[in-house]
Amino acid sequence: MSTFDDREKGFEKKFAHDAEQDFKAAARRNRMLAEWAAGLMGLESVEEYVRAVVKADFEQPGDDDVLRKVFGDLKGSGVTVSEGEVRMKMDELLAQARDQMKNGG
């Protein structure tokens, strides 16, 4: 096997690892976002809401399905929050999730 083949396999492994880490970070972010939103809405069944948000993430590729779900639920329950604020919270929580994973949390 040539050095080029070794490098190619190395890049493929790194890509797969990075994709897995991104998936895990997004899942952790969605959980934290759901917990945050459930707190704002005063929900008693936080775990049930977390499951609903996690399930919403599989509707379409990307984060828009989660944003729509959480923003719609917040708006529907009378919480005054903008779509931009929810998006900023998502970004903040994604950074937290990545940091937690990096630090073994």
pLDDT in tens, 32-59: 999 999 999 999 999 999 999 999 988 8
Q: What band does 1 get if pLDDT is binned at 50, 70 and 90?
A: low
Reading the block at residue 44, the tokens are 């008693």
Q: What is the dihedral of CA 16, 22, 24, 27, to 10 degrees?
A: -140
Q: With a cut of 80, say whether residue 29 has pLDDT above it.
A: yes
**Residue carrying structure tokens 């759901």:** 34
**Residue 82 CB burial class (10 angstroms; 0-12, 13-18, ≥19):** exposed
Q: With a cut of 90, say whether residue 91 has pLDDT above it.
A: yes
Domain boundaries, the chain: 26-102
Q: In whole angstroms, what is the distance from residue 82 CA to residue 100 CA?
A: 27
Q: What is the pLDDT of residue 21?
A: 87
The one-letter amino acid code at 95 reads A
Enter the pTM of the model.
Answer: 0.83
SS3 (DSSP) at 44: coil
